[in-house]
Structure 1
Amino acid sequence: MKDVLGNCPVCGQKLEVTRLHCCHCNTSIEGSFNLCKFCRLSKVQKQFIETFIKCRGNIKEVEKELGISYPTVRSKLDDIVQALGYSVKEPRVEDERKAILDMLNRGEIKYEDALKLLKEYQKEAKQ
């Protein structure tokens, strides 16, 4: 069985479900039904969310699993937050530094990793 498409493959606009069918009893229901917000995410975004949940939101584990940097993980999360219809405030440099230091404090990352992340973030923030 194929995944439900949330957006039109031709124009990219939201699709609407108009028919539901039960394969067990052969009942069909027609009408106008909304898809959940997650159905509208791209396949890549859904895979990222699955990895994020599997890693229990631990960004360091997501980095390892996907082989991407901390700023890239944050960027992907921001894209998904926007795709779900929420606003993303521009992170302040201090907020990002605090998040890295909090991960260090909780023991999620080592000192060397925190230092590397801080340098990476500072480099990407300048771009």
Structure 2
Amino acid sequence: MNEIIGRCPVCNEKFTVTRLTCSRCGTAMEGEFSMCKFCYLTREQRTFIEIFIKCRGNLKEMEKELGISYPTIRSRLENVILALGYKVEAVEENTVNRKEVLEKLEKGEISPQEALKLLKDR
């Protein structure tokens, strides 16, 4: 059986379902039925959500699973949030990621003094 698509491939408008049929007994219902929000996501977005759930929302685990960077995962997650009709809160560009600072310190990329300064400036 083919997977249902949620949007028209010509104009990208949301499809409505007009007929439901039971594959077991053949009973059918006709009318206009809406699909769930997730049906309107692209296949790529639905796959992303499946992996998000599998990883229990842990973005670091998703990095490993998908082999892509944290910022790319954040971007894709925000894309899905928007596609579901929710607002994405703007992230302040000057916000320092504590974990990133500690990783840089551990790798010797910054000095302990620089790390302290970055963490205090948060």
Q: Same-fold call, TM > 0.5?
A: yes
Residue-by-residue CA offset, 1:54-83 (whole Å, 9 max, x unaligned): 111110010111111111111000000000
* Percent of aligned positions that are identical: 52
Unpaired stretches in structure 2, ≥5 consecutive residues = 108-122
Give me the TM-score of the superposition, normalised by structure 2: 0.78
**Alpha-carbon distance in 1 for matches of 2:5, 2:36:** 11
Aligned to 1:48: 48
Residue-by-residue CA offset, 1:23-45 (whole Å, 9 max, x unaligned): 11110000110100000000001
**Alpha-carbon distance in 2 for matches of 1:60, 1:44:** 19
Aligned to 1:68: 68
List aligned pairs for 1:5-24, cutoff 5 A.
Answer: 5-24=5-24
**Alpha-carbon distance in 1 for matches of 2:94, 2:105:** 14
List aligned pairs for 1:40-119, cutoff 5 A.
Answer: 40-93=40-93, 97=97, 101=98, 104=99, 111-112=102-103
Label 1:31 to 1:115 Cα distance change in 2 as closer, same or farther (>3 A). Answer: farther
Q: Which amino acid letter does the alignment assign opposite residue 52 of structure 1? A: F
Do structure 1's residue 32 and structure 2's residue 32 form an aligned pair?
yes
Q: CA RMSD in A?
A: 2.3
Q: Shift in Å at residue 114 of structure 1?
A: 9.1
**Alpha-carbon distance in 1 for matches of 2:81, 2:5:** 19
Give me the TM-score of the superposition, normalised by structure 1: 0.75
Q: Shift in Å at residue 112 of structure 1?
A: 2.8
Following TM superposition, the consecutive aligned residue runs of length 4 or more in structure 1 with deviations greater than 2 angstroms are 93-97, 111-116
Report the 3-state secondary structure (helix = DSSP H, G, I; strand = E; otherwise coil) of the residue aligned with 2:18: strand
Larger-gyration structure (1/2) = 2
Q: Shift in Å at residue 96 of structure 1?
A: 6.6
Larger helix share, 1 or 2 = 1
Report the 3-state secondary structure (helix = DSSP H, G, I; strand = E; otherwise coil) of the residue aligned with 2:23: coil
Unpaired stretches in structure 1, ≥5 consecutive residues = 117-127
The structure showing larger relative contact order (alpha-carbon pairs under 8 Å, at least 6 residues apart) is 1
